[in-house]
Amino acid sequence: MQQPVRAQKPSAVYRNFAMDSARWNKLQPREGDIIICTPPKCGTTWMQMICALLIFQKPELDRPLSDYSPWLDMLIAPIEDVAGLLERQTHRRFIKTHTPFDGLPYYPGTAYFCVGRDPRDVFMSMDNQVGNASPEFMMRMAKNMKPGDAPPPPMIKDMRERFRAWIASPLTPESCLNPMMMPVQPYIQGFWEYRHLPNIHFVHYSDLQRDLDGEMRRIAKILGITVAEALWPQLVSAAQFDTMKDNAAALAPDAKTGIWRDPTRFFNKGETGQWLGTLGPDELAAYAAALAALPPELGKWIESGRGGR
C-alpha cells in the first residue's frame, strides 16, 4: 500500500479569536527545528519543558518558558514580534502549536512531536482551564476578531452534555472556533496518518507519567541530543509535575500576559483517571463510539500510549 505524501504547504487555515495558523507563513524554518503539536491540555507545557531541559541541559531556566518556546499561532502578540524572537534565537528552536497537521507547513528537517492524552482526562483538565482563564484577557483576545470571523460558540452549561458534544465533534477550519475545546482524536489522527515519515514522532501523557526518565531519554535520542549520565537525575526531577507546579509563574504558558487567574492552577492535578466518578454511562458510551471509529491501533494509543493495556 502506497504511503501518503505530505506537501510542504498547508492545505487548510485555522483561524479563530485566539489563533491563526496562517502566521506560520512568517517563520523562516531552520534545520533541526522542533514543533510541539498538541490539542490543549495534552501535555504541551510538559513537552516544552522537556525540550528546554534537553537543549539547555540545566534544571532551571533563565527566563519564562514561553520566552523560549512561544505559541506561534496565538494572536496576542504581533507575528512580526514572535518571528523576530525566534529568528534571534541561537539555540535549537522548539515552538508550540495547537494547529492541526493540515494547517502546518511541513519541512523534512523539522521534528514534529505530536503529544496525546486520554480524551476523558483532557476534558476534565480543560474544564479547569476554562475556569482559570481571565475574563479580561479573553476580552482582549476577542478584539483580534476580524469582520466576518465567527464568534466562539457558547459553552454548554451541563458538563456531561458538553462532553458528549465535544467527544463527537469534528475538527475542521469551520468547526475549530474555540481552541480550548479542540477535539483530541481527529487532531492526533491527522498526524497518525503520516507516522511513516521519519520526522513525525508521538509522545503520550501516560507514558511520561509511567516512565519520565525513559521517555526523556527516548526523546533525547530522537533529537540526537547527548546528556551526561550524571546530569539525568537533575533534568528528570525538574520535569516532574510537582516541580513544575512549584515554578508555575515561570512555566505556565504566557503567564505574563495575564491569561490566568492563578498560574499555579494551570498545573491542576496532572492525574490519569480524573474523569472517574464524573462521567456517566452515556458519556462513556459516546467516548467508546468515538474511539471505535478510529483504527484500532490509534484508538489504543490515544487512550493509554505505548505502555498501556
CATH number of the domain residue 82 falls in: 3.40.50.300
Q: Which domain holds residue 173?
A: 21-304
pLDDT digit string, tens, across residues 133-174: 666 666 666 666 777 777 777 888 899 999 999 999 999 999
Of the listed ranges 3-17, 26-40, 199-213, 244-258, the least confidently predicted one is: 244-258
Residue pair 19/115 in contact (Cβ under 8 Å)? The answer is no
Confidence class for position 185, pLDDT limits 50, 70, 90: very high
Lowest-confidence segment of 35-44, 48-57, 59-68, 175-184 by average pLDDT: 175-184
Query: Of residues 91, 98, 196, 204, which has the active-site annotation?
Result: 98
Long-range CB contacts (within 8 A, 24+) of 155-160: 155/130, 155/181, 159/127, 159/278, 160/279, 160/280, 160/282, 160/283
Per residue, what are the HEC states of the chain?
Answer: CCCCCCCCCCCCCCECCCEEHHHHHHCCCCCCCEEEECCCCCCHHHHHHHHHHHHHCCCCCCCCHHHHCCECCECCCCHHHHHHHHHHCCCCCEEEECCCHHHCCCCCCCEEEEEECCHHHHHHHHHHHHHHECHHHHHHHHCCCCCCCCCCCCCCCCHHHHHHHHHCCCCCCCCCCCHHHCCHHHHHHHHHCCCCCCCEEEEEHHHHHHCHHHHHHHHHHHHCCCCCHHHHHHHHHHCCHHHHHHCHHHHCCCHHHCCECCHHHHCCCCCCCCCCCCCCHHHHHHHHHHHHCCCHHHHHHHHHCCCCC
What's the rounded mean pLDDT across residues 11-23?
92
Instruction: Tell me whether residue 191 is in a domain.
Output: yes
Is residue 26 a part of any domain in this protein? yes
CB 70 within 8 A of CB 249: no
Q: Does some domain include residue 11?
A: no
Number of independent structural domains in the chain: 1
Task: Check the CA dihedral 277-282-284-287 and report its sign.
Answer: negative
* Mean confidence (pLDDT) of the chain: 89
Is 59 within 8 Å of 234 (Cβ atoms)? yes
Active-site residue, 204 included: no
The answer to whether position 269 is within a domain reads yes
> Is 164 part of a structural domain of the chain?
yes
Kindly report whether the global pTM for this prediction surpasses the value 0.85. yes
The residues pairing with 203 across neighbouring beta strands, listed in sequence order, are 115
Q: What is the Cβ-side half-sphere exposure of residue 255, based on CA atoms within 13 angstroms? A: 18
**Phi and psi dihedrals of 215, rounded to 5?**
-70, -40
201-237 pLDDT, tens digit each: 999 999 999 999 999 999 999 999 999 999 999 999 9
Is residue 183 a contact partner of residue 167, using CB atoms and an 8 Å limit? Answer: yes
